[in-house]
Amino acid sequence: MGMLQGKKALIIGVASKLSIAKGIADAFYREGAEIALTYQNDKLKSRVEGFASEYQSTLTFPCDVASDAEITQLFADIGKHWDGIDILVHSVGFAPGSELDGNYVDVTTREGFRVAHDISSYSFVALAKGARELMRGRNGSLLTLTYLGSERTMTNYNVMGLAKASLEANTRYIAASLGPEGTRANAISAGPIRTLAASGIKSFRKMLSESARQTPLRRNITIEEVGNAAAFLCSDLASGITGEILYVDGGFNISGMAPLDEAEE
């Protein structure tokens, strides 16, 4: 039996077959979960419907997380199909492109800061609020995706680093808030992966190869590996884990001084 057999999972953030949320949905489906997906806008609707059909699902809903009305409508619509939700995955992050290219103090603006924190952090508690009654008393699980740029400076990650720091604190506060009703909240801190969100980033290829070189496993991680960790965290096997950040990064975050070059190995 799959480790998510019979669980109902709402996954937010599938935009392409490369999306981390796609790796998570694949793993959840393999482990026996029922899947519902959302799409940010009409441009993504038919693609996301196609992904849902891979999971034998017709449950797809629009949701731009910048909109309270769309979040409210989402849970009203889900309530018409499901008696509850066991798992909610938040795999959404955004800052205006101009914030992610250049010296932090030079490029950071009030509006860019606001948007980054609204879309990348506030939306997690907004969704937790919206899903609360559907998740209550089911030993449900909330999951979000973060990045080490929350704790260490990473060139060009800039205001997204602050938004991820906020998202991680958000995870802990949601865990404390919803723990008494049986709902857990955790985050996965993933290593860099080439996705749509990453394709807009200058020199991302160089970053990927340098990151692999400095990682204990000497390679980058995959969306399948994030999916497997997500399946664990959202399963009853992780019933004692909440408010936690789990690193799925090949060990990059524990590394001090990496080898200077391959000759030193």
Q: To the nearest whole angstrom, how small is the minimum distance from the Cβ of residue 89 to ligand NAD?
A: 10
Annotation marks residue 39 as catalytic:
no
Considering only the stretches 11-19, 98-106, 171-179, 235-243, report the one whose residues sit in contact with ligand NAD under the rule CB under 6 A: 11-19
Give the number of other Cβ atoms within 10 Å of residue 52's Cβ: 20
Contacts (CB under 6 A) with ligand NAD, residues 102-141:
119
Is the Cβ–Cβ distance between 236 and 242 less than 8 Å? no
13 binds ligand NAD (CB under 6 A): yes
The binding site for ligand 0WE (CB under 6 A) comprises 93-95, 97, 100, 147, 154, 156-157, 160, 192, 197-198, 200-201, 207
Q: To the nearest whole angstrom, how small is the minimum distance from the Cβ of residue 21 to ligand 0WE?
A: 13
Contacts (CB under 6 A) with ligand NAD, residues 33-92:
40, 63-66, 91-92
Q: To the nearest whole angstrom, how small is the minimum distance from the Cβ of residue 222 to ligand NAD?
A: 11
- H helices of the chain, in order, are 20-30, 42-54, 68-81, 104-107, 110-117, 123-135, 159-178, 196-199, 204-213, 223-233
DSSP track, 182-232: T-EEEEEEEPP---HHHHTSTTHHHHHHHHHHTSTTSS---HHHHHHHHHH
Q: How far is CA 93 from CA 126, 161, 264, 265, in A?
A: 14, 11, 37, 36
Distance of CA 159 to the CA centre of its chain: 17
Q: To the nearest whole angstrom, how small is the minimum distance from the Cβ of residue 181 to ligand NAD?
A: 25
Catalytic residue among 29, 39, 55, 147: 147
Annotation marks residue 157 as catalytic:
yes
Q: Which is nearer to ligand 0WE, 60 or 156 (CB)?
A: 156
The residues carrying an active-site annotation are: 147, 157
